[in-house]
Amino acid sequence: MASFRHLFKPDPYLQSEDDKRVQTDLSGTGQIPSHVGIIMDGNGRWAEERGLTRGAGHQAGIASVRDITRAARELGIKYLTLYAFSTENWRRPRKEVALLMSLLRKMLHEEMKEMRENGVRLNTIGQSNALPKEVQRDLFGAIDDTSDNDRLTLTLALSYSGRWDLVRAMQMMALDIRRGKVSPEDIDDRLVKSYLTTAELPDPDLIIRTSGELRLSNFLLWESAYSEIYVTKTAWPDFRRDDLYDAIRDFQRRERRFGLTGNQVKKAEEITPQQESYIQRIVNALTKGN
Ligand code: IPE
Ligand code: IPE
Ligand code: MG
């Protein structure tokens, strides 16, 4: 049997002993972000630097999606949101858009088994009905197939933009006001959030952008109000689990203040260290202490 071993390619994305050690260290050192959003940028430049077509860069990025999804699940991240295609990306050359759509289908087919077996629930945000019919069919098929899973919610932002979502929310809210279901005085942060396509997701704790640009490019505009932002020069096709660990290490060194002073935050941490949400912890401590 051993002589056949060389015929089987080892899976390079499996959790190694080193991974387990790093993941345990990260969980022991600080908080693992509950929701991580990633702006997967730089596929085109990655390819062009290598004399390849932009499409080859998009193709190469699929391996990063696989590795990061696995690592996120192993780390206990509960929500991973990947910005895969923006509303503005429709304006790219038709051939590139078509290739991105076919790669999306390929990825859904290839990752289905793994998602089903590993507790990954697929979700999507964005204007799904703008996607080609066959993409919609595969996407919603995969979402249905994984709907009972609860270890990691993997949300693909497709034909998505933060402004699109906010405009859509405002239209729906206006309709509900016209129907008398909501009155203008009821509108607050919570109500606005409930109309967004991200209503069921907590706000992202950490937003990672690959390939160096210092902008959000219309990603999770409402939800990112207090997200920590981490930008790396590494292009998406080169971004792997070790880069995710670096981002989380950096996140764990930040002091999230949510508009309060550093002292208030420290006090809150001492009083109720066990409460599950960081902001909740601060707000509770302040209302108790004052
Ligand atoms: C990210 O890579 C993928 C999508 C936006 C669909 P890009 O295609 O934007 O790559 P760059 O930024 O041009 O290098
Ligand atoms: C952001 O990348 C959108 C996605 C990663 C899907 P872009 O490449 O479209 O953003 P800009 O044009 O550099 O701002
Ligand atoms: Mg780009």
Per-residue model confidence as pLDDT tens digits over 95-122? 999 999 999 999 999 999 999 999 999 9
Atom of ligand 1 nearest to the CA of 48: 14
- Say which ligand is closest to the CA of 218: 2
Which residues neighbour ligand 3 (ion) by CB within 5 Å?
41
φ and ψ at residue 260, rounded to 5 degrees: -90, 180
How many other C-beta atoms can be found within 10 angstroms of the C-beta atom of residue 134?
Answer: 11
* Protein residue whose Cα sits closest to atom 1 of ligand 1: 41
| pLDDT recorded at residue 286 | 81
- Say which ligand is closest to the CA of 126: 2
DSSP state letters, the chain: -GGGGGGSPP-TTSPPHHHHHHHHHHHHHSPPPSEEEEE---HHHHHHHTT--HHHHHHHHHHHHHHHHHHHHHHT--EEEEEEEEGGGGGS-HHHHHHHHHHHHHHHHHHHHHHHHTTEEEEEES-GGGS-HHHHHHHHHHHHHTTT--SEEEEEEEEE-HHHHHHHHHHHHHHHHHTTSS-GGG-SHHHHHHHSTTTTSPPPSEEEE-SS--S-TTSSTTTTTT-EEEE-SS-GGG--HHHHHHHHHHHHH----TTS-HHHHHHHHHH-TT-S-HHHHHHHHHHHH-
CA angle 75, 76, 82 (to 5 degrees): 85
Which residue among 43, 90, 211, 233 has the greatest number of ligand 1 atoms within 8 angstroms of its CB, and so is best to mutate? 43
* Protein residue whose Cα sits closest to atom 14 of ligand 2: 217
Which residue among 85, 208, 211, 233 has the greatest number of ligand 1 atoms within 8 angstroms of its CB, and so is best to mutate? 211
| pLDDT recorded at residue 271 | 66
| pLDDT recorded at residue 122 | 98
> How many angstroms is it from 54 CA to the middle of ligand 1?
8
* Protein residue whose Cα sits closest to atom 11 of ligand 2: 217
Ligand 2 pocket: which residues have CB below 6 Å? 39-41, 83-86, 89, 213, 215, 217
Q: Which residues of the chain have pLDDT under 70?
A: 1-10, 271-277, 289-290
Distance CA(12)–CA(15), nearest Å, equals: 9
Residues carrying an active site annotation: 41, 89
| pLDDT recorded at residue 80 | 98
Atom of ligand 1 nearest to the CA of 85: 6
pLDDT digits (tens, 9 = 90+) for 160-187: 999 999 999 999 999 999 999 999 999 9
Which residue among 41, 82, 231, 238 has the greatest number of ligand 1 atoms within 8 angstroms of its CB, and so is best to mutate? 41
> How many angstroms is it from 146 CA to the middle of ligand 3?
30
> How many angstroms is it from 2 CA to the middle of ligand 3?
46
